[in-house]
Amino acid sequence: MKNAFFFFVFVITGAFSMAYGQQSQDSLFRICTEEICELGSPSGYINQHGDTIISIGRYFYCYTDTADKMAIVQDTNGQCLALDNLGKLLFYVYWSDMGPDRLSDGLFRIIVNNKIGFANAEGKVIIKPQFACANQFNDGKAQVTYDCELMSSGEHTSMKSSTWFTINTYGERISSK
């Protein structure tokens, strides 16, 4: 009987911690009007209490399934935005040919005032937006430039510049070997 009581207290305490712990308080959960949430399906976000944080249909699509610190959504103009867990804009997310930029070496490209920088999965800006063009990180390095020209070819866009240089994940310029 004594063991059953402690087990009950342990389960209740654990459930309370999960429901009201820091991570849970910050989490948002995507909801959809359709059974399967596909690109373009009306979607939105609720918190762990069921409160609507971002109403269904406010954005064209909500990409992030469960958002602990940040959610990525697409507006009706095709732009991707990173929102905090209160639904406030953090920055725009770089749109590649395939959709919103993905994490690579723990960072993804963002846009602020038409300049490209890098943020982490929590939405923290790691390398301030300052580049005209930037490639994703690969093995801790990314090619960036302060001046470039975007060249469209059908559905694809390429970046042209004669002044590319390499940075590390801290934004420091390094020699490319």
Is 19 inside any structural domain?
no
pLDDT tens for 20-60 read: 444 445 699 999 998 888 888 899 999 989 999 999 999 99
Residue 61 lies in a domain: no
Please check whether residue 66 lies inside any domain of the structure.
no
**Inside any domain, residue 78:** no
Number of domains the chain contains: 1
- The mean predicted confidence, pLDDT, of the chain is 84
What is d(CA 120, CA 126) in angstroms, rounded to the nearest whole number? 7
Is residue 22 in some structural domain?
A: no
Which residues constitute the domain of residue 104? 94-177
Among 2-6, 110-114, 126-130, 141-145, the range scoring the smallest mean pLDDT is 2-6
Classify residue 5: in a domain, yes or no.
no
Does 161 reside within a domain? yes
Q: Give the residue from 168, 121, 125 showing the smallest Cα distance to 144.
A: 168
Q: How many angstroms separate the CA atoms of 171 and 120, rounded?
A: 13
Task: Judge whether 9 lies within some domain.
Answer: no
User: pTM of the full predicted structure?
Assistant: 0.79
pLDDT for 151 equals 82
Q: Which residues contact 160 (CB under 8 A, 6 or more apart)?
A: 148, 149, 150, 151
